[in-house]
């Protein structure tokens, strides 16, 4: 039984600001600088979801990419794309929407659905800009 990693790329465009509501504005400005701008800014986020599993000898698939893409679209893209990550995304409440926190939360949102396919969610990689990325392995 060959174990293979299967990776699906999806995208979403969102607004956010880095802001810790338990701090005053001066401290947010000091820690987060322009990323804390009160009128928001935004990104074209690029997401890479890696699923680990064995190849089904009948289909040659670890997982049908359409099923994986549909899962990511239902659980993540529809909730985050063209949204404000601080205000509108239920699973981002109570935390600063850094790339690190976004990646962890996306992992938590996707893991049950991936497990239900008989595979394992291995990694969520999130690209915030062409220079800044994060990876979370659960």
Token pair in block for residue 92: 């981002």
Active site residue 10: no
Active site residue 128: yes
Binding flag, residue 29, a copy of itself (CB under 8 A): no
Q: How many residues bind a copy of itself (CB under 8 A)?
A: 65
Minimum gap (Å) between residue 15 Cβ and a copy of itself: 4
Q: At what angle do helices 65-72 and 99-115 cross, to 10 degrees?
A: 130
Cα 30 to Cα 17: distance, rounded to the nearest angstrom:
14
Contact between residue 45 and residue 133 where contact means Cβ atoms under 8 Å apart: no
The rounded distance, in Å, linking the Cα atoms of 126 and 103 is: 6
Residue 55 in contact with a copy of itself, rule: CB under 8 A: yes
Of residues 87, 5, 93, the one with CA closest to residue 53: 5
CB 62 to a copy of itself: min, Å: 6
Q: Contact with a copy of itself (CB under 8 A): which of 71, 104, 106, 114?
A: 104
d(CA 84, CA 53): 34
Catalytic (active-site) positions: 35, 82, 128
Per CB under 8 A, residues contacting a copy of itself are 2-11, 13-16, 18, 20, 22-23, 31-35, 37, 39-44, 50, 55, 57-62, 65-66, 69, 81-84, 87-88, 95-101, 103-104, 129-137
């Amino acid at each position: 039984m060959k174990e293979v990693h299967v990776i699906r790329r999806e995208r979403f465009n969102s607004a956010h600001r880095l802001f810790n509501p338990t701090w005053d504005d001066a401290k947010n400005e000091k820690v987060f600088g322009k990323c804390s701008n009160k009128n928001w800014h935004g990104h074209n986020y690029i997401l890479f979801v890696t699923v680990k599993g064995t190849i089904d000898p009948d289909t040659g698939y670890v997982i049908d990419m359409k099923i994986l893409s549909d899962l990511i679209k239902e659980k993540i893209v529809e909730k985050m794309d063209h949204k404000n990550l601080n205000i509108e995304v239920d699973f981002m409440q109570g935390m600063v929407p850094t790339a690190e926190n976004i990646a962890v939360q996306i992992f938590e949102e996707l893991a049950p659905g991936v497990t239900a396919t008989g595979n394992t969610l291995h990694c969520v990689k999130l690209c915030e800009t062409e220079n800044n990325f994060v990876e979370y392995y659960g």
